[in-house]
Amino acid sequence: MSDATASADDIADIDDEEGEEASGKMSGKKLVLFIALPLLLIIGGLGGAFMMGVFGGGEEEQVEVGVDGKKVVDPSKIVFYELPELIINLQTDDPRGSFVKFKVTLELHDAAALPKIEPLMPRIIDNFQIYLRELRASDLEGSAGLFRLKEEILRRINMDVRPHEVADVLFTEMIIQ
């Protein structure tokens, strides 16, 4: 029995020694609770403050955004540039041919871009003609056809005038024969 008691005493001594060592070191759960969690909270708070612009947000220009998600532009800065009237023949099976006559005005939100865009007008008009010669009169029918034409012309113009941007293409006159 004494052997059994001695072994039980030895086990109790070993448990006491392990308890002392364990109290000197933090367990994994305590480490997460007292070190990792506060560290994550601090990093998250700093990241949120940075994203809100608390740190050094004064240098960048603030852009106002309207209800539709587009930036709001000061009306006094808007400039319109009228392109010359264009008459272009469309693709057709009819031997008489079909023509489109139209006048376009470009809307720019930056007046400083106009002198840089004007020298590119021959390229812009050439792109108009190349694109429009591939269309048929049926492609331009209705408001959907006009909208597709407007979007495609705007996309092509903005590719030509990069890094500047044309905000909109306005049809002032359009006749399809």
149: which 2 tokens?
A: 């034409």
**Domains of the chain with bracketed CATH:** 2-52 (no CATH), 75-176 (3.30.479.30)
Closest CA to 104 of 152, 176, 159, 173: 173
Task: Provide the pairing of β-strand 79-82 with 98-108.
Answer: antiparallel
Consecutive H or E run containing 174 = strand 166-176
Query: What pLDDT is recorded for position 64?
Result: 60
pTM: 0.56
Query: What pLDDT is recorded for position 10?
Result: 57
Buried/exposed 47-68: b ≥16 CB within 10 Å, e otherwise: eeeeeeeeeeeeeeeeeeeeee
Quick one: average pLDDT of 40-60? Answer: 78
